[in-house]
Amino acid sequence: MSNERPFSVAACKWLSVGKKSICGSLSIELGVQVLAVDLGLKPALLYDINCATADQVQQYLCTLQSNSLVSKSLITVDINGNVLIVNPDMMMEHLKQLLISSYVSVIDVSHTLEKPHITEPLSGDLRSMLQELMSVLQTHVQSPNKDQPLLVGDEAGKWNLCTLFGILLGFPCTYWFDQGKSFENCLAMTPLMVFKASVSWQTETAGHAWRLNYYYFFPAGRLNYYFF
């Protein structure tokens, strides 16, 4: 990333919580992730560095956009207090293709099961959830208030956020359970295997190398063979 300072300045200015600010390498790492969303490398970024609000993240994003560091198409989305920076064009295409081809594996981890298993993709509530999200996103992008955070509250009350975030972040698989029956799952005390995929590149200044990482957690010896 050739111009690192504006990313750091924007993060320090807008994303501080209390006396704790985001500066230095962490602010640059965040900038790299936002650029990845802007370039279409992934559909969304879940902001989980600290407890900054959707309004703070929006101000940070607006600063990057006003300095022409990222495109003006990116939006901030708040889903039940979980803040994301979203590439709406890529997200809409991602959701459309998912509804057509169901290329994301859905793993049922309901607490009533002895062990997780691959379930029928996008049946019933899952399909409705994605269709509702597409409608909300489309309405927001077409509204005159698209430079404000999209607050998704009541609509998300019946959504399985565990499943949704796996889809929004572009993971090849996502966990699902019937939250109408229980929020517990069958993964308790189950050893997990961690699969990591990453891409890295060298920046033009300071000799830094930045990396985009993806982590996937699967029960050891049970589901990992589905993803080779």
**Pick from 52, 77, 55, 167: nearest CA to 121:** 167
Give the per-residue pLDDT at 202: 61
Type of residue found at 91: M
Domains identified in the chain, total number: 1
C-beta neighbour count of 227 within 10 angstroms: 11
pTM value is 0.83
Domain of residue 146, residue span: 5-227
Specify burial of residue 155 (Cβ count, 10 A radius: 0-12, 13-18, 19+): middle
**How confident is the prediction along the chain (228 residues), in pLDDT tens digits per residue?**
556 789 999 999 999 888 777 877 889 889 989 998 999 888 999 999 999 999 999 999 999 999 999 999 999 999 999 999 999 999 999 999 888 887 788 888 888 888 888 887 667 788 888 999 999 999 999 988 888 999 998 778 888 888 899 899 888 888 888 787 888 888 877 676 666 666 666 655 555 555 666 555 555 544 333 332
Give the per-residue pLDDT at 42: 87
**Tokens 């640059």 belong to which residue?**
28
Q: How far apart are the first and last CA of the chain?
A: 32
Type of residue found at 67: N
